[in-house]
Each structure stands twice: as structure tokens, then as C-alpha cells.
């Protein structure tokens, strides 16, 4: 009998019958060097495109003063309040509106209209006060109304045109933000470069300076400079005296 011929020999791997009959695995064709280089180049190009889409932005608070739009870096402010009862202080500069008590802390309030010597064209009672903390000084800035918060591309911040610098001292400005109306409230897209003369025209007319889309222009204020430490020291004693009198 030859049944022993079907037995596995010593040291031989046992054979396993495939399921569902005979199946052959499909082998992957290895990439040729040329194909591999093309794939690597495509991946690198996609990564570069993704990096270009990342736009550096700055978050700002927006507010109005006599129908003019302003902005300030959100990091410059501490909080926003409805205008409280303000106590007038005699013998201080005209731009000092007065003082008020903020949770036990006396806060000096700055009137931006008088700070910039602006003539109001649209009568309106200011509603909000922005609390600023610069160094060891805390003070408030009165505005008509805080309108929102924007995240704007850094590239949308342009140098201050000379026209604006004549109305507001350039020392108080960090530039001009120019955005397309189509950017909405987010303001995260870049705007096509405008010449200084076009920006001036936008500020004068509040209309688009040619081309499709509507431009939005905001003056970027440097809030900490609204009241310098030297100015505060100049009338600090008067403020303290007023505080003692109203206690």
C-alpha cells in the first residue's frame, strides 16, 4: 500500500487548501523612480499651496465716532462699558471728560472728540466707554458706539495717508485698515493693494475707489497713547482732590 506517500515528510511545511478554491493575491506594481519623484513633487506643491492660504491676522475691536469707523487692537483694551455717571474735574485739560468709580478704582475718562479737536457733524450722545490699561495707568475712552470685533489680515493694514494725519495726529494712529465689503464681519481675505491717493478718496467720500466691490476703511487707533503717563501726572493731584471732595 502506498498510503504513506500522502503523509507529510519530516521538516516539510503542511499544505493548506485555499478557501473557495484557488485564489491568487494581486501584487502591487512598485513605483518606478520617475513616478515616485512626480508623486513627491505633487505632495510638496499641495503643502506649499496650503501654507499660502494661511493668512496672518490681527483681532481688533471696531467702534464709531461721528459716523467715522475706527478700530483698535483688542489686546489694548480691558473691558467695554455703557457710559456710567461721570464726575467733572475742574482744572484739567479739555480732553479729560471726568472720572468715575469702576469697582473701587477711579478711572479718568478721555473725550476723543476733544483729544483730536474734531468737529462733530452728526449729533449723537456717546453710549460706550472703552477701558484701556497701559502700563500702570487705567483710563476710559468715550466712543459713540462699539460695533463689533473683526479679525483682519495684517496685509490689510496700510500706512496712514497724510490726509488723515492732518485731522488726527499720526502719533495716535497705527495705520488704516482697508477691507472689501464682501469680506463681511470676518474680514479674513486680503484686499487688492490700493494706492495712498485711493485710500484718501475712500476716507473723504466713503465710496469705492473704482473697481468692483465696496471698500471699508477703518482708522486704526493706538489706544494706550490717548493718555500718556506724563499727562496723567500733570493733573493727577487735581483728580485726587476731586475724589476726596466727592467722598
Cα 216 from Cα 68, distance rounded (Å): 11
Residues of the chain with pLDDT under 50: 1-5, 16-23, 183-192, 199, 206-212
Of 80, 74, 131, 135, the closest CA to residue 107 belongs to 131
Tell me if residue 159 falls in helix, strand or coil. coil
Q: State the pLDDT at residue 207.
A: 44
Q: State the pLDDT at residue 63.
A: 96
Residue 147 · residue 63 · CB < 8 Å: yes
Q: State the pLDDT at residue 115.
A: 92
CATH number of the 57-242 domain: 2.40.50.180
Q: State the pLDDT at residue 3.
A: 43
Residue 60 · residue 185 · CB < 8 Å: no
Q: State the pLDDT at residue 86.
A: 95
The string of DSSP codes covering 93-156 is: -TTEEEEEEETTEEEEEEEHHHHTTPPPSS-----EEEEEEETTEEEEEEESEEEEEEEEEGGG
Tell me if residue 201 falls in helix, strand or coil. helix
Instruction: List the end-to-end C-alpha distance of the chain, in Å, as a whole number.
Output: 123
Q: State the pLDDT at residue 74.
A: 94
Residue 164 · residue 173 · CB < 8 Å: yes
pTM more than 0.85: no
Cα 117 from Cα 47, distance rounded (Å): 51
**Residues 78-113, buried b or exposed e (16+ Cβ, 10 A)?**
eeeeebeebbebeebeebbbbbbebeeeebbbbbbb
Q: State the pLDDT at residue 123.
A: 85
Domain ranges, ordered by start, for the chain: 57-242
Cα 203 from Cα 230, distance rounded (Å): 32
Amino acid at each position: 500500500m502506498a498510503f504513506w506517500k500522502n503523509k507529510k515528510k519530516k521538516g516539510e511545511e503542511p499544505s493548506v487548501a485555499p478557501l473557495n478554491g484557488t485564489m491568487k493575491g494581486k501584487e502591487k506594481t512598485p513605483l518606478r523612480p520617475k513616478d515616485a519623484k512626480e508623486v513627491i513633487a505633487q505632495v510638496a506643491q499641495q503643502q506649499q499651496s496650503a501654507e499660502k492660504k494661511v493668512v496672518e491676522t490681527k483681532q481688533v475691536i471696531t467702534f464709531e465716532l461721528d459716523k467715522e469707523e475706527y478700530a483698535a487692537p483688542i489686546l489694548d483694551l480691558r473691558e467695554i462699558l455703557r457710559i456710567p455717571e461721570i464726575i467733572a474735574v475742574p482744572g484739567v485739560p479739555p480732553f479729560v471728560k471726568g472720572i468715575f468709580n469702576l469697582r473701587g478704582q477711579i478711572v479718568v475718562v478721555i473725550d476723543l472728540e476733544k483729544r483730536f479737536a474734531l468737529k462733530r457733524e452728526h449729533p449723537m450722545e456717546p453710549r460706550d466707554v472703552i477701558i484701556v490699561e497701559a502700563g500702570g495707568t487705567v483710563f476710559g475712552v468715550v466712543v459713540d458706539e462699539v460695533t463689533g470685533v473683526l479679525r483682519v489680515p495684517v496685509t490689510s493694514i496700510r500706512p496712514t495717508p497724510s490726509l488723515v494725519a492732518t485731522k488726527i495726529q499720526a502719533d495716535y494712529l497705527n495705520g488704516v485698515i482697508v477691507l472689501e465689503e464682501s469680506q463681511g464681519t470676518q474680514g479674513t481675505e486680503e484686499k487688492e493693494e490700493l494706492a495712498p491717493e485711493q485710500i484718501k478718496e475712500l476716507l473723504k467720500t466713503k465710496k469705492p475707489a473704482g473697481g468692483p466691490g465696496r471698500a471699508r476703511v477703518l482708522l486704526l487707533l493706538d489706544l494706550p497713547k490717548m493718555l500718556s503717563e506724563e499727562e496723567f501726572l500733570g493733573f493727577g493731584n487735581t483728580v485726587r482732590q476731586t475724589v476726596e471732595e466727592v467722598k
